[in-house]
Structure 1
Amino acid sequence: MGAFAEWQPQYAAHGIATFPVVIDGKDKRPAVKGYLKIGTKVSDQLAMKFPANDAFGLACRRNRITVLDVDTSDERVLADALIRHGPTPFIVRSGSGNWQAWYRHNGETRRVRPNPSLPIDILGDGYVVAPPSLGTKGRYEIVQGTLDDLERLQPMTKPVLEEVVEAFVSHEAPPRKSYNEMREGDGRNPSLLRRALRSAHHANTEEELIQMVAHANQQFAEPLPREEVLSVSHSAWKYKSQGRLMVSGGEATAVVFRSDADHLWDEPLALSLLIRLRMEHSWRNGAPFKLAKGTASALRVSVPTYRAARDTLVDRYFLEIVHPGGKGKNDPPIVRLL
């Protein structure tokens, strides 16, 4: 019996749906289609269908798990990450000696190297290989905790300045307790951060951006300290270098992560619909909105074709139908982005 068939019931007992994975060298791929929406009942059937499979994975968002993927065997990097993002009772070591710290999902997406200086990915979407799968270099193992701890996971924490930056680049209101409330007690820091994010579009180097932000800082009656100028400038430049700078003079923008494209590569129209919906509605931060069939005209496709694309987004957990509508002209579907 392979690891998948042996451990699938144990994960299912904790409400975690798993599926078989094929590992060939550095290539790791699910052995089945539709793996992001698999539930425990289908997972039970797969365990009987793939009894010898020695590797398996789980869909992060579907199972309400976010994984901090530390791509190094250096325990100091893991320790620093746990200080930065908070403790967790469940830690995994891969066959190559790298680390995974598991948290409760709290809306995180799949972010590869959010800090370019650290070998760390935040996996809130897509899938991860789970222990004790057998990889090319060895077996994944649980080095801290047990499967019982999966029911007691807590969300990862985020540094306050990063929360403020995330709020601005996604057009949301800043968090209730913002960075300046902890450091300055007024609105200067968020105001300077917004200016830095806008100025980053026009700066050719980080040094040039620092000069722009420093000039803006002098417009305050009481300018912020130079370290604040350097901090917000560095944050804004980091978002520009990652291609995640969304504050753009009013023009609608959308972020599509590589994992999104991978999950929708076989459905290009669904991917186009996702991009359009994110451009028009991502600022709602998950709040429901009307989805009229006029969207089909914007995509230049027939209504049945548009509905098929919409249903694909629903099936693959990019979109949720809150109200199906259809009871008349004034009863459109109500949906929300996931």
Structure 2
Amino acid sequence: MHAVFAEHVADYVNAGLVAFPVDARAKRPLVRNWERAGTNASRAWASNPRFAGAEGIGIRMGGIVEVDVDAAGDAWLQSAVERFGDTPVRIRTASGKGKLWYRGNGEGRRIRPFRGLPIDVLGGGFTIAPPSWREDLGAAYRFLSGSVANLNDLPTIRAGALEDGYTRAAEGVQDGERNNALWRHCMTQARFCDDVEALIDVAASWAGSFPDPLGLVEVERCARSAWRYECEGRNYLGLRKPQITAEDGYMDDLIDQPEALVLYQMFKRWHSKRPNFAIAPTAMSEAGSPPWHRTRIIRARDVLIERGFIQEVSRPIRGRRAGRYRFAEQMADSGKDHYTPSPPG
């Protein structure tokens, strides 16, 4: 048994962070009201025999923003460093993936904001911190570099790293992806140009750095296509806060967890006007609403809790009472683009 929480909570509390016990495997807090707790609550949980032996330690984000690299290997982690800037604190998760910590600067919580990159930016919610232990993997979260002692030395994320998620270096664009890359670049640059001729100049300059440059006719075609979308008010590519419905945001933030998305939509239909509601996985399964085994419902529910869509009001006691939950007051920003068409042929 690894009593991580009781042994290491003081490290984070002394650094001014709110820490609480978590189930590191389920990535779920073991206590309620962690969103509003202070460091005194962290100390109280550590002295409570019920939580002192917890193998996971969670910390509330805000003062820290985490770049969560959801792919194993040093190459992915180094790629993230090149994008977001260097930081003294690098972390390896129990499953071999990576995390980078920076000083929070109001980034919010963004799930998969960069197309094609397995990266989340977590400036809200919570994260699991070293040296949390995963018994199922027989491994711990650990610092690759730095430690809690370096938290006061954290830099902010590099300027522009969050806004240019839909552009890339021209030198790395290969044959077969030139049109797509150039069109996307034009879409992100169109709002900064006074007319289409200026955009064509920008496009020609950028595309001139391709290893195998495009001809001027193709460059103009991409630029004029992007300019048409800009003039018609249909260019949302790369906007930090596109004009979308709440439902679009829910879909983007749960696109990798379709069962959680379905469950959330069901809860919104049934309980949107209620201050809180019960989730009874066994009864729901038996009623066929949804027609899943109770364990699937539990997993989907836990994803909604972890990602901040719902909050636990009262903990379930199996065989005695269902847990009660409420909708979170603020949903996570997806940071994605919406309603943007495909590039020209």
Say whether the 8 Å CA contact 1:110–1:126 is kept in structure 2. yes
Say whether the 8 Å CA contact 1:84–1:158 is kept in structure 2. no
C-alpha distance in 2 between matches for 1:245 and 1:219: 26
Q: Does 1:218 align with 2:196?
A: yes
**Where does 1:117-266 land on structure 2 (aligned, <5 Å)?**
117-135=116-134, 136-137=136-137, 138-159=139-160, 162=163, 192-193=190-191, 217-218=195-196, 220=198, 223-226=201-204, 227=206, 239=238, 245-246=242-243, 259-263=307-311, 266=325
Tell me which residue corresponds to 2:78: 79
C-alpha distance in 1 between matches for 2:87 and 2:141: 18
Deviations 1:82-129 (A, max 9, x none): 111111111110111101110000001111111121111101001000
Tell me which residue corresponds to 2:57: 56
Tell me which residue corresponds to 2:292: none
Say whether the 8 Å CA contact 1:217–1:223 is kept in structure 2. no
C-alpha distance in 1 between matches for 2:128 and 2:162: 31
* CA displacement at 1:221 relative to structure 2: 9.7
C-alpha distance in 1 between matches for 2:59 and 2:162: 31
* CA displacement at 1:9 relative to structure 2: 1.2
Say whether the 8 Å CA contact 1:69–1:123 is kept in structure 2. yes
C-alpha distance in 2 between matches for 1:221 and 1:104: 36
Tell me which residue corresponds to 1:208: none
Tell me which residue corresponds to 2:110: 111
TM-score calculated relative to the size of structure 2 = 0.54
C-alpha distance in 1 between matches for 2:21 and 2:82: 33
Deviating more after overlay: 231-240 vs 31-40: 231-240
CA-based RMSD = 4.0
Which residue identity does 2:242 align to in structure 1? L
Q: Say which SS state the counterpart of residue 47 (structure 1) adopts.
A: helix
Say whether the 8 Å CA contact 1:104–1:153 is kept in structure 2. yes
C-alpha distance in 1 between matches for 2:246 and 2:127: 32
Say whether the 8 Å CA contact 2:84–2:161 is kept in structure 1. no
Instruction: State how many pairs are aligned.
Output: 222
CA 221–51 in structure 1, closer or farther in 2 if over 3 Å, else same: closer
Highest RCO, 1 vs 2 (Cα 8 Å, sep ≥ 6): 2
Tell me which residue corresponds to 1:320: none
> Gapped runs of 5+ residues in structure 2?
167-185, 208-218, 255-306, 314-324, 334-345
CA 158–5 in structure 1, closer or farther in 2 if over 3 Å, else same: same
CA 161–260 in structure 1, closer or farther in 2 if over 3 Å, else same: closer
Say whether the 8 Å CA contact 2:91–2:98 is kept in structure 1. yes
Q: Does 1:28 align with 2:6?
A: no
CA 40–190 in structure 1, closer or farther in 2 if over 3 Å, else same: same
* CA displacement at 1:34 relative to structure 2: 1.2
TM-score calculated relative to the size of structure 1 = 0.55
Q: Say which SS state the counterpart of residue 58 (structure 2) adopts.
A: strand
Say whether the 8 Å CA contact 1:217–1:224 is kept in structure 2. no
